[in-house]
Structure 1
Amino acid sequence: MKKKTNIKKTIKLLIQILFTAIAITIVVNKLDLSQIKNTLSSTNLFYLFLAFLMFNISKIISSIRLNRFFDDINLKLSQSYNLKLYYLGMFYNLFLPGGIGGDGYKIYILKKYFNQKILTMTKVMLLDRISGLIALLFLTGVLGLFSSFTNYTYISYLTIAGVILIYPITILLYKYKFSEFLKSFQITNFQALLVQLFQVFCAYFIVLSFGGSTDIFDLLVIFLISSIVAVLPLTVGGIGARELTFIYLLQFLGKEPTIGVALSVIFFLITALSSFIGVSFINYKWSEKQ
């Protein structure tokens, strides 16, 4: 059974590598690489530092939200311990396919040193991702109302309906599938919104580092959509998937994709650099709980 599982994982990884290679090839063929190079080489380092800061603030808030979920199941972790584990999870997510390797490591540590059930921990990690996705969809809808996508009437109607309905639907989801977390519904969903908002600030400062853009709302909305696409286990670490999202959606709007792809590349580099903070916790003694 274990051998079959390993074979399936290997096949899945090979498929992801193949899709990543295909996506990168399409991106390279659709862009003028010299324009991308010029855009990246002329970035303002001060704005990039602010983007890096905004990204890491979002991750700190995200770790606080996750710790609130832990508290709901009577798992008491100090925020310092939780943050270290969170950053190490980010590091593993960077290299392991599907972006869930870090979640698996956190589950392993919490089972080993806190006697937590794997099923319970898996449920917490799943809800953590769901709450993030809900906030992502809501913020995408709100910003979308100020973007060029509203030039298409049917998109406007769908967006308004989505913004209105998403949280009532979320309450029902919590009530019937995650009832033990209902008591923290308001605070955790507010924190999830803050996480996505600071990521939007990150993207905004990246665009400013290129000199700004008159299409800022379009870029930010597509950035959020690309974040949703990157979560899907299609490519390794979302590489290529984000860039293709920018290319096709900006072309759909009749706009040039160079800045969008440059934004995607810089955001990935900021993510990678931030994730390497977790390296310093690889040898941390997790048995020393506090």
Structure 2
Amino acid sequence: MIKKTKKIAAQLIKILFAAGIIYWLVQSGKLNFSALSNLLNPGIMALSAGIVLLNFFLASERWRVLVKSQGIPAKAWSSFKLTLIGQFFNFAMPGGVGGDVIKAFYFTREFPGTKVVAATSVLIDRVLGLYAMILLALIVMIYDFAHVSHVSTLMNLFYFIVALFVAFSIALSLVFSTKVYDRQILKKIIRKLPLSEKFMKIYESLHLYGNHIPRIIQVIVLSLVAQTTAILFLYMVGMVSGFSEIPAKTYFLVAPLGFMATAIPISPAGVGVGQAAFYFLFNVYTGKSTDVGPTTITAFQVSSFVVSLLGAFFYMRYKRPKDIAEAEEMA
């Protein structure tokens, strides 16, 4: 009972945190809902939904590539339905259970005895997705280095992104390395940690993905394509909302950094955090105050929520009375 109360309290804090940021942005004029009214056009709404669906499908295929690398014959349509359910729970999150947990739970229902694969596949999927965001941000900052080098805040971000890229590259190389595994270099370190048995299982499971480097590269490429669709969505919203002066390259720099911020689990689906991050990043990059950031990310989040309602439909067809409790136990 106490554990459940704590989870509910934590969820309420997340919701209040997100609501507080949105309220501040609206009151200060940094989030302009009137600009979003331009999107209430049947053609634009259909295009928005199509882009978001494509983004979700690419994310689903990215995850399915990882699952198939472990010898599990996951089908595209089945994986897509589970991804939509996960996306819905990223917004809903009843009892503090996130979308990845629900997705993994129903995956184990479809493929019994795959609990470890389900857990590690969503973990490595998140890690490689974040790695691709870092890579894309680094590529764009190098491409536009002439501008980046003249803004001290952007240079600090550049150094941070370089450090992240190097750290992720080294960590992934060590986890996937057969030589490191055979010499038990990481195992010796893990054995000295608290909860060493659990960390050892995670390490050994993640290491298996290193036997399929071409699939890892495929996942990263799919991540980059998925991010490109999300960026094109933001760019379309910006153009329709009257921010035509902002070039496309600005979106390609800001979006990966902004989406990295929304990945931090301190609000449902990054709502609130995304608005603040995109507002800051667009202002730093353009050198002027503009509400294009909060406007575009809000449109993306609203469209993502509407499309994720398909996941709610599939969830209602899947669910049993004790599903959430069992998912919490698995988590």
TM range (shorter): 0.7 to 0.9
- Answer with 227-236 or 171-180: which moved more: 171-180
1:255 Cα deviation after fit:
1.5
* In the alignment, structure 1 residue 172 sits paired with structure 2 residue 174: yes
Long gaps (5+) in structure 2: 182-202, 320-331
Q: 1:41 aligns with which of 1, 26, 37?
A: 37
Aligned counterpart, 2:219: 188
Aligned counterpart, 1:82: 79
Aligned counterpart, 1:199: 230
Distance 2:110 2:312 in 1: 20
1:32 Cα deviation after fit:
5.8
* Structure 2 residue identity aligned to 1:83: F
Distance 1:149 1:104, change over 3 A: same
* Structure 1 residue identity aligned to 2:130: L
Q: 1:95 aligns with which of 92, 96, 100?
A: 92
Distance 1:97 1:222 in 2: 31
Aligned counterpart, 1:158: 159
Q: 2:127 aligns with which of 113, 130, 133?
A: 130
Aligned counterpart, 1:108: 105
* Structure 2 residue identity aligned to 1:209: V
Alignment coverage as a number of residue pairs: 283
1:127 Cα deviation after fit:
0.6
1:119 Cα deviation after fit:
3.5
Structure-to-structure mapping, 1:18-33, within 5 angstroms: 18-31=16-29
Aligned counterpart, 1:275: 308
- Tell me if the contact between 2:90 and 2:268 (Cα under 8 Å) persists in the aligned partners: no
* In the alignment, structure 1 residue 209 sits paired with structure 2 residue 240: yes
TM-score, length-normalised on structure 1?
0.84
1:84 Cα deviation after fit:
1.5
- Tell me if the contact between 1:72 and 1:181 (Cα under 8 Å) persists in the aligned partners: yes
SS in 2 for 1:151: coil
Long gaps (5+) in structure 1: none
Distance 1:162 1:54 in 2: 32
SS in 1 for 2:13: helix
* Structure 2 residue identity aligned to 1:280: F
Q: Give the percent of matched residue pairs that are identical in Structure 1 and Structure 2.
A: 20
* In the alignment, structure 1 residue 15 sits paired with structure 2 residue 13: yes
Distance 1:44 1:216, change over 3 A: farther
Q: 1:244 aligns with which of 245, 259, 276?
A: 276
SS in 1 for 2:254: helix
State the structure with more CA Rg: 2
* Structure 2 residue identity aligned to 1:108: F
Q: 1:61 aligns with which of 41, 58, 61?
A: 58
RMSD: 3.0
User: Deviation string for 1:234-271 (max 9, x for gaps)?
Assistant: 12222211111122333445322222211121111111
Larger RCO: 1 or 2 (CA < 8 Å, sep 6+): 1
SS in 2 for 1:255: coil
Aligned counterpart, 1:234: 266
Distance 1:224 1:155, change over 3 A: same
Aligned counterpart, 2:299: 266
* Structure 1 residue identity aligned to 2:159: L
Distance 2:29 2:274 in 1: 14
1:215 Cα deviation after fit:
4.5
